[in-house]
Amino acid sequence: MNKKYIPFILIGALLVLPQLGLSSYVLHILILALMWATAGMAWNLLGGYCGQVSFGHAAFFGMGAYCAGLLAHHYDITPWLGFLVSVPVVAALALVMGFIVLRLRGPYFVLATLAIGELLRIIAENLVDLTQGNLGVLIRRTWVDKDPYYYVILALALGTYFLIQRIMASRWGYYFVAIREDQDAAESLGINTTLYKTIALAISAVITGFTGAFYMNYMGYIDPQIVFSLGDISIVMIMVVMVGGVATPLGPWVGAVIMVILAEWIRSLPVIGTGYQTLFGILLIVIIIFLPNGLVGDLPKIKRFFKKEVPA
């Protein structure tokens, strides 16, 4: 079979999936996987390709979610408009964040992103007039059925995938990777590293904001502890990419499926289920040691491993 057709077959399969009479629960898992794949791709653009590892992407996710939720809550406007409204809001937040953190390198950058993510959570908790604080925001969902949500997030995921593929084949893509590989070399080649890091951050942030807006629409309820969470959002985005494969196009998809299923499974376990974040932490360490490039990135290594096990 020609390799060229594989993407079309995959997309076709994704399109017909909800028509196969899947249970509502399975569809829910698929929707979450697509949402995390999208968020992972967004993180991957900045962290994987451009090399700027952010521990604060919950800031953008939460901001996108609140854009959708607050429109519906305060003005009774459709929460889907949150997608549109989130673009300038999240982009502005990314620019502010970029101004503060992009001049920092290495661990300073990481710590600064982490701090900003947490800061946003605390602000959302305390601006009670606007956000209702820890009470959260509850909206009326548009559809009872899960199918339409599936198609919305599928469109978002595929759109993100093709957008990032386009970017990575262009000047911007080359510049992002050059910055990751050696910032001084990139500067001396005429690349305005601050500008292009800001561009990568802004695109990454806006897409992450979309996933947040989707989350609000789909779940119908958010509070600051959920959508601005370090452990449940920022770190899960990183794990999706690390498990699947950093700086690979399909890594976030693979990572998202594994993480969502794993999370569901671990949470359902008696006793240790409540400690799922600890288990995720252990998993992350194992991955970093044995598959530093993730499942997709280390595929050749995995294949070799299994070939050794089964001598011809």
Partner 1 sequence: MSLLEVNQMSMFFGGLAALSGVTFGVEKGEILALIGPNGAGKTTLFNCVNGFYKPTLGTVSFRGQKISGLEPHVVCRMGLARTFQVVKPLQRMSVLDNVIASAFLRTKTRAEAVDLATEILEFTGLLEDRDVISKGLPLGKRKRLEIARALATKPEMILLDESFAGLNPAELDVSIEIIRGIKAQGITIMIIEHHMKVIMSISDRIVVLNYGQKIAEGSPADIRANPLVVEAYLGGEA
Q: Which parts of this chain interact with partner 1 (CB under 8 A)?
A: 169-171, 174-175, 177-178, 181-182, 184-193
Amino acid at 291: L
Nearest CB to partner 1, comparing residues 229 and 293? 293
Rounded to a whole number of angstroms, the minimum distance from the CB of residue 134 to partner 1 is 44
Q: How far is CA 160 from CA 55, 89, 164, 206, 253, in A?
A: 21, 19, 6, 11, 12
Nearer of residues 26 and 299 to partner 1, judged by Cβ: 299
- Which CB, 57 or 180, lies closer to partner 1? 180
Least spacing, CB of residue 44 vs partner 1, in Å? 15
Tokens, residue 50: 């451009």
Q: How far is the CB of 76 from partner 1 (least distance, A)?
A: 47
DSSP 214-260: HHHHHHSEE-HHHHT-IIIIIHHHHHHHHHH-TT-SSHHHHHHHHHH
Q: How many helices (H) and strands (E) does the chain have?
A: 16, 2
Instruction: Select 145 or 182, whichever has its Cβ closest to partner 1.
Output: 182
Contact criterion met (CB below 8 Å) for 213 and 38: no
Q: Smallest distance, Å, CB 158 to partner 1?
A: 23
Nearer to partner 1 by Cβ, of 92 and 169: the residue is 169
How near is the Cβ of 170 to partner 1 at its closest, in Å?
7
Contact yes or no for 216/17 (Cβ under 8 A) = no
Q: How far is the CB of 192 from partner 1 (least distance, A)?
A: 5
Q: Is the CB of 64 or the CB of 173 nearer to partner 1?
A: 173
Q: How far apart are CA 89 and CA 224, in angstroms?
A: 17
CA 31 – CA 54 distance, rounded (Å): 24
Give how far Cα 306 sits from Cα of 293, 301, 309, Å.
17, 9, 5
In the bound state with partner 1, the residue whose beta carbon lies nearer, of 48 and 56, is 48
CA gyration radius for the chain? 20
- Cβ 291 to partner 1, closest distance in Å? 17
- Structural element, H or E, at residue 138: strand 137-138
Residue with tokens 């998993």: 283
